[in-house]
Amino acid sequence: MDENGKFHVNNGIVKMEEIYKAKVKNCHEQTYRSIFNAKNYLPGNFNLSRPLEMVYPWIQSARIYDGSQRQVIVTHAEGSNLHVTLQVHGEVGGNRLVFFHNASRISDFTGTIIVDSRSNRYFNVTMYGASGKINGAVKYSTERISDEIFSFTTYVHDLNASNRSMIIPMPAIVDSGSRMICMYADEQREEQAVCRIIQYYETPLEIDIERNTWHEMVGSCPSCNQINFTGISRFLNPMSWVNGVSSLGEFVMMATDVLMYICVLVVVYVILTKIVIPICKCWICPMYIMSHKKSKSKKREKARQSANDERDARV
């Protein structure tokens, strides 16, 4: 954690560039190539650490509650008793006083285990008549008596029982195949859990690691990187040059691009006026002189012919 309380990985950008790179193959067609470092893939034989309950005996359980907010629910193995006393003064007026103590319940649930194209595992579950703290256990097979390979805890923030859908992350040890998942309220015993056989759906990987083939992807912007009149007219508008400039570095890059374009225009102007146009004049002038001489000789011959005709007429 840094001084602002945010999660920080030392040299994280450098490490990510070593692990993954994206290289443009064809800018016009928006095709690119994804390059991964193969040593960062673990298709099997995961070396998992010891459970937290075995490392620290005073912890009964520890569950990640919300991955995005980084909240962890830790349950102590031993704790002090809590005594609660309620006193009602005056007339109740026909209203019923309801005291919720550990109001956790669940009637039923349905769901599926989904593995996306990046090997992220999720348990997409819909709980019916649920409220409070709900515990869950993933079994090794479709039998209820099979060993437990993963457990989780989730919360339904409603005092009254309701239907709620949520996504629960799953670890890599939950591999392919259908399996039994049991869910029970926190105040219930595990023997009273509701168990269902959950189907397993897996999306193919974007990159075939076993065959070591490349996966070429195409961008989702068909009109990008296309040369047309709209793009040229937008480039000729000076106001569009400063769009998206939000820092000094971007302003320097924009000014450098404009200066480079001006230099290119000056070079093109010099080449046209000092080299191309003079060469064209030199090539055109001899042709013009030769054609002018031919026209003059024809005029002289016509004049001589007319003079001879006049002489013959006088004679």
Question: Is there a contact between 206 and 19 (Cβ–Cβ < 8 Å)?
Answer: no
Inform me whether the pLDDT recorded for 183 exceeds 60.
yes
Strand partners, 111: 125
Tokens coding 186: 């926190």
CA pair distance 184, 114, nearest whole angstrom? 22
CA pair distance 193, 242, nearest whole angstrom? 62
Answer yes or no: do 246 and 285 share one domain: yes
Answer yes or no: do 204 and 106 share one domain: yes
- So what's the pLDDT on residue 82? 60
| SS3 state at 50 | coil
Taking every pair of Cα atoms in the chain, the longest distance, rounded to a whole number of angstroms, is 156
Tell me the pTM. 0.41
* Confidence band of 138 (pLDDT split at 50, 70, 90): very high
Inform me whether the pLDDT recorded for 31 exceeds 60.
yes
CA pair distance 86, 92, nearest whole angstrom? 13
Answer yes or no: do 57 and 114 share one domain: yes
Q: How far is CA 4 from CA 8, 10, 60, 66, 70, in A?
A: 10, 15, 32, 21, 15
Inform me whether the pLDDT recorded for 313 exceeds 70.
no
What residue numbers bound the domain in which 242 lies? 227-308
CA pair distance 310, 315, nearest whole angstrom? 9
Answer yes or no: do 262 and 146 share one domain: no
- So what's the pLDDT on residue 201? 92
CA pair distance 200, 174, nearest whole angstrom? 10
Once rounded to an integer, what is the mean pLDDT over residues 169-179?
A: 87
Answer yes or no: do 184 and 113 share one domain: yes
Q: Which amino acid would we find at residue 242? A: V
> Tell me, what DSSP letter sits at residue 47?
-
Question: Is there a contact between 113 and 199 (Cβ–Cβ < 8 Å)?
Answer: yes
Burial level of 141, CB count in 10 A (0-12/13-18/19+)?
A: middle
Q: Per residue in 88-125, pLDDT tens?
A: 666 656 666 666 565 788 999 999 999 988 888 999 99
CA pair distance 110, 252, nearest whole angstrom? 57
Tokens coding 279: 């060469």
Of 8-12, 88-92, 170-174, the least confident: 88-92
Q: Which of 178, 208, 238 is the last residue of a domain?
A: 208
Number of H helices, E strands in the chain: 5, 12
Determine, yes or no, domain membership for 3.
Answer: no
Answer yes or no: do 171 and 64 share one domain: yes
Q: Give me the number of domains the chain comprises.
A: 3
Answer yes or no: do 135 and 156 share one domain: yes
Q: Per residue in 235-259, pLDDT tens?
A: 666 667 667 677 777 788 878 888 8
Answer yes or no: do 160 and 16 share one domain: no
- So what's the pLDDT on residue 216? 65
- So what's the pLDDT on residue 57? 76
